[in-house]
Amino acid sequence: MPVPEHEEMVQVKVQKATSVLEFTGMLMAAPYMIKGDDVVAFYKANLQEGLTSQEADRRRGLCGKNTLKGRRSLHPIFLFIHHLFNFMTLILFIAFALALAVSEYLMASVLGVVILVNAVIGFTQAYSSEKTIKALRRLSSPNARVLRDGHLQHLNADLLVPGDVIYLDTGDQIPADCRLVTCVAFASDEGLLTGESHVVNKNEHTLSHCHRGLEPTLMERKNMAFFGCVVARGRATGVVVATGMHTELGKVAHSIGERPAGRTQLQKQLEKLALGLFLFALVLGVVVWAANGFEADYETILYATALAVAMIPESLVSVVTLTMAIGVKRLAAANTFVRRLTALEALGTVTDICSDKTGTLTLSKMVAADIWLPRDAKVFVTGHGLEPVGAMFVSGREGNMMALEKLSSVSFMPALSALIKVSSLCNSSTLVECDGEWYGVGDATEVALTVLAKKARLDKALLIKERGHEFITEMCFDSILKRMSVVYRLNPLRNRMGGDKGRKEEGEMTMYTKGAFESVYPLCSHIRVDGRDQLIEHVKVNDFCDEVMQYRVDLMAQRGLRVLAFATRVISDEEKGAVLNYARADGDGGREELEKGLVFLGFVGLQDPPRRDTPGAVQTCREAGITVRMVTGDHPQTAAALAKQVNILKNRAEGGKEGGNIVMTSGHFDHLSDEALDNMPFLPAVVARCSPGTKVKLIKALHRRGRIVAMTGDGVNDAPSLRAADVGIAMGKCGSDVTKKAADIIIMDDHFATIEHAVEEGRRIGTNVVKFVCHLMSGNVGEVIILMIGLSFRGMDGRSVYPLSTLQILWINMITSTPPALGLACEPPEVDSMQKDPVEKGRLLRNPTLLVDISLYGFLIGVLSITNFLIVAFVDGDGVQHTSGCNLTLTPECEHIFRARAACFASTTLLLLLHAYNCKDLARSLRRVKYKNNKPLALAVGLGVFTLLPTFYIPYVHDKVFYQAPIDWEWGLVLGSVLVFLLLSEAYKRYLRPRVVQWDQALAHQRKERRMHVIELVDGGERVEKAVPKEGGKEGGMMQRVFRREASSFGVRSGWEEDEETEEEMKKEEAAAVIEDHVM
């Protein structure tokens, strides 16, 4: 029986609804609260066979590819239209329409070409950037090991679907959110999502209840592995429970979105300039119309068109775009990828760089630096990075002097050998060499211990294979217990340890433990002193009491070291059964009974050393007036120690009078209100235990002070701060896709020195923009002066006589000015570019000095050129009052007008070409300018002279296109005007411009005083600017005390201290702060 048509439609709708419901039903709400078997059943997964390819394709059709969605790229057509229409081109469009209206097709064609060239250049650069970004996204997609059709396959992670069974191993990037069903010592680094630097141990057990009735945090979901994170150690099998935008990473990406394409200060200034020129062109058009009796005839329209064209620097937008493109290429060669061209301009005006510590200021590679052994000498370890090459030096005394002795072999120090053996065996990391570089797989701390063991020739492979250590069981690192233990059995037939051989029995088991000092030391009953194991109770009264030991740990922590304690013990025969039972139960219970009665061996200080070029780069930034701030999740003492090493924190002698040497924790910083932060004289130089919200709050506080901020980040949680900053900088090696999408710039090598180079390149671009804007706008000012004066030159018919024709103006603007402007864009960085303060926000083009430069040089060009026109037309010729129709037709009575126009054109052109070298260094004399360091500029000036000459002597071109006549003796006038321009510009640079600069600086200082309430303190003959805090109440007083207390604990100035306080005053203030804290 046939189905009615309306029922078919109902069935189609039902099928569509069913597919949507099926898709939403494919995702389990809280798989971490469900048993593993039930999760497998829900997703219809098969742990032995996996999904079939057909089923995977069907599911992918419902849920889509496993990718993060960014904003849609603008269609190329709309992108081209965007670059085609703006205020600058609007005037050219009007001139184009006017030229067509009066049948000046040649002029209209030239104007059309100019408009199209500008649009094509802008479109090409933007489209090229979009394609590069897409290519980077494709390259960033990881691979996955998936069980499909009964076979283990290596597939692109994009192809994963919910229900896939995937295998994870050490070093893998997790390709999707998955519920773990089996785990073996599995842990993942979730810093990408959480911002926490330590790894999270995982298991396959079901979460039985929600903590405090709240939704478990990501770190509490121990049975989940999350998309984008990295496996730190171990292996696991999981079932994919979410892909793409439905993963935890996707949810963050959706909430953050991609950084909007906002407008920079340069763009805003160019738009204001374009709008101002547009309005001024309209005013001049009205003036021309009024000067010709408000008659809109052919010649009036042409003159108005000429003035409009003269007002517009037609090539300005193209030159700016090409300048940015040149900067992009230069930065790409220096390991910096620019996602948005506009970020380059902001880079050059940055006043503050807020940098993460790990991986940017440091190597992001932990290395063992110090080893402390009870009663024995301290051991210093040398080396750099992960390369297992280095020496060990033992400290000792020769008389009253400390001495270092190089240790040829650790076998000469049994206590040291025992400690390093623990660090080697109680370790799940590996070290591999590839193409001459060493890479660590696993937790960074354990990798550092593996490097230490290799330096001592006691690496795990050697101990297991050649020296007879057999693995029994592992008690995984626990973030609550903060320790890890392993048990090995010693095979006496293969034992060649030498130092410990006499102490061990056949087949004996030994436990090796490492962890935080406060976790390991309380478990120890003995301590190894001078090669003998002594009861801690007997020696605690001396050098090994808890307080003294903790003091030693704190001293190492203050130097920026992460301290790990090491211990060992022999398992008794009675306990061997318990150890074997623990191993059979796969670590389920009984750990506390085994980890006791340990022998304390000592501790190792690990550090993430600063990169070799970081201190110099930070110092360069300081000399450039840029404040470098550290925002890190590390301990305040660790952060402060490294900040001193890399010159972020100044020594007391150096920074005592300058202030700003503040170290704060995010707890104190977040507690302060915006008003309290604004009352601070200086914001902190180091913020420790930093959260994503803290970073955003710091950026907003800096913005309220008028600062321009660059922020670095790598994890997903850094994306909000990157968006809030003026320049968001993502790390290319360790940064997440979400962070890169939120950033303006990607540092491919993760070096802070690369950021410093990028800032220098930004300053080079900003300086060059000022140079070529001065060059282009000076020509426009000169042309306007020529044409406005030309309104008074009237023939017998009452019409104005052009000193310059429209095509002559276009030639000057496009052929004469544009190549030198591009040459100025290629100027190398100035020698002192990183020794000057940053340009004020929004003041790159909007500053009095540049305005005076443009006005004066434009005035000189205009006056000298129109003077040559007057000499040829009125002194050598009969003037203009007896002529008619001399704007378009060369007749005998108009010949002197055409020659005068040619002299004016030649003067303007050559003066602009000479002015290019004036703009090469706006402050220095032409005698001191370096002419050989910019070949493009020399080529552009030579090309301008070469192309000028034919315009005077080619028939038809000189009279029908440019409306001029060949000249001869007039060249003397042209060269004379060049000489006068040279002398006057040199006089301006030497005598007048320095006063203009001083006046500009005084205005800037006044603006700063109004904004920041700045006063000047004179101390020792040195002027020091310091912000005066506003009147503060209770919160402000407490804030100052907190800062002093924190800073003193880190050994740096608080930034609030005006004078040295007595010890008694400090104690009183400390007590008052404690009481006030308890009251609040």
Q: With a cut of 90, say whether residue 1069 has pLDDT above it.
A: no
**What is the overall mean pLDDT for the chain?**
78
pLDDT value at residue 900: 94
Q: Rounded CA gap, 474 and 483, in Å?
A: 11
pLDDT average, residue stretch 195-224: 74
pLDDT of residue 476: 81
| Buried b / exposed e along 185-221 (16+ C-beta atoms within 10 A) | bbbbbbbbbbbbbbbbbbbbebbeeeeeeeebeeeeb
What is the pLDDT averaged over residues 994-1022?
64
Helix axes 818-825, 895-920, angle to 10 degrees: 0
pLDDT, position 1051: 43
Name the helix (H) or strand (E) containing 564. Answer: strand 562-571
Query: By the 8 A CB rule, do 855 and 784 touch?
Result: no
Check pLDDT > 70 for residue 239.
yes
HEC-encoded secondary structure of 524-536 = EEEEEECCEEEEH
pLDDT of residue 73: 59
Distance CA 774, CA 768 (A): 10
Sign of the alpha-carbon dihedral angle for 495, 500, 505, 511:
negative
Which pLDDT score, from 0 to 100, does residue 600 have? 94
Give a three-class secondary structure readout of 375-432: CCCCEEECCCCCCCCCCEEEEEEECCEEEEEEECCHHHCHHHHHHHHHHHHCCCCEEE
Any idea which residue has 């680094």 for tokens? 189
Q: How many other C-beta atoms are found inside a 10 Å radius of the C-beta of residue 957? A: 13
Burial of residue 283 (CB within 10 Å: 0-12, 13-18, 19+) is: exposed
Of 879, 905, 865, the closest CA to residue 801 belongs to: 879
Q: What is the reported pLDDT for 655?
A: 39
Lowest mean pLDDT, pick from 294-303, 387-396, 923-932, 1004-1013: 1004-1013
Which range among 281-295, 585-599, 714-728, 797-811 shows the weakest confidence by mean pLDDT? 281-295
Angle at 616 between CA 1019 and CA 386, to 5 degrees: 140
Task: Tell me what pLDDT residue 558 has.
Answer: 77
Q: Which of 265-279, 367-381, 405-419, 699-713 has the lowest mean pLDDT?
A: 265-279
| Mean of pLDDT values over 467-477 | 83
243 burial (CB, 10 Å; 0-12 / 13-18 / 19+) is buried
pLDDT tens profile 567-585: 999 998 888 888 888 887 7
Quote the tokens at residue 283: 């005013």
Kindly state the average pLDDT of the residues 788-797: 82
Strands annotated E in 981-1031: 1014-1019, 1022-1027
Q: How far is the CA of 197 from the CAs of 173, 361, 395, 533, 622, in angstroms? A: 16, 15, 33, 36, 29
Give pLDDT tens digits for 855-912: 999 999 999 999 999 999 988 888 888 788 888 888 888 899 999 999 999 999 999 9
What is the pTM assigned to this prediction? 0.69
For residue 363, pLDDT beyond 90 = no
What per-residue confidence (pLDDT) applies to 586? 65
Cα 9 to chain centroid, rounded: 54
Would you name the residues annotated as active-site residues?
356
Specify whether the CB–CB gap between 658 and 633 falls below 8 A.
no
State the Cα–Cα distance between residues 464 and 419, nearest whole angstrom: 16
Residues 614/548, Cβ–Cβ less than 8 Å: no
Q: Which residue has the higher pLDDT, 172 or 1038?
A: 172
Dump pLDDT digits (tens) for 21-56. 344 456 778 888 888 888 998 888 888 889 999 999
More confident of the two residues 1032 and 860: 860
Q: Directed axis angle between helix 265-291 and helix 752-790, to 10°?
A: 0
Sign of CA pseudo-dihedral 1042, 1047, 1048, 1050: positive
* pLDDT score for 263: 59
- pLDDT value of residue 167: 92
Query: Average of pLDDT values for 108-116?
Result: 79
Mean pLDDT of 431-451: 84
Which domains are present in the chain? 27-69+143-256 (2.70.150.10), 263-347+757-999 (1.20.1110.10), 352-361+611-707+1031-1079 (3.40.50), 367-607 (3.40.1110.10)
Provide the pLDDT for residue 505. 47
DSSP class of 922: S
Q: Using 50, 70 and 90 to split pLDDT, how confident is the model at 214?
A: low
C-alpha 875/C-alpha 890 separation (Å) is 20
Residues 55-74: tens digit of each pLDDT = 999 998 888 888 877 555 56
Distance CA 984, CA 857 (A): 9
Which segment of 29-43, 105-119, 369-383, 705-719 scores lowest on mean pLDDT? Answer: 105-119
Q: What is the CA radius of gyration of the chain?
A: 37
Residue 9's Cβ-side half-sphere holds a number of Cα atoms within 13 Å equal to 3
Taking residues 1067-1075, what's their average pLDDT? 36
Kindly state the percentage of the chain with pLDDT values over 90: 21
SS3 state of residue 937: helix
How many whole angstroms separate alpha carbon 340 and alpha carbon 39?
Answer: 44
Task: Give per-residue pLDDT as tens, 364-402.
Answer: 778 898 999 887 568 888 887 788 888 888 876 444 445
Q: Which amino acid is residue 528, in one-letter code?
A: R
In 3-state terms, what secondary structure has residue 276? Answer: helix
User: Is the pLDDT score of 494 beyond 60?
Assistant: no
Q: Once rounded to an integer, what is the mean pLDDT over residues 745-752?
A: 85
Is the pLDDT confidence value at 244 over 90? Answer: no
Please report the pLDDT score of residue 536 as a whole number: 84
Contact 580, 587 (CB under 8 A): no
| Torsion-angle region of 507 (φ positive above 0: left; ψ -120 to 50: alpha; else: beta) | left
pLDDT band of 146, cuts 50, 70, 90: very high
Instruction: Return the pLDDT at 541.
Output: 57
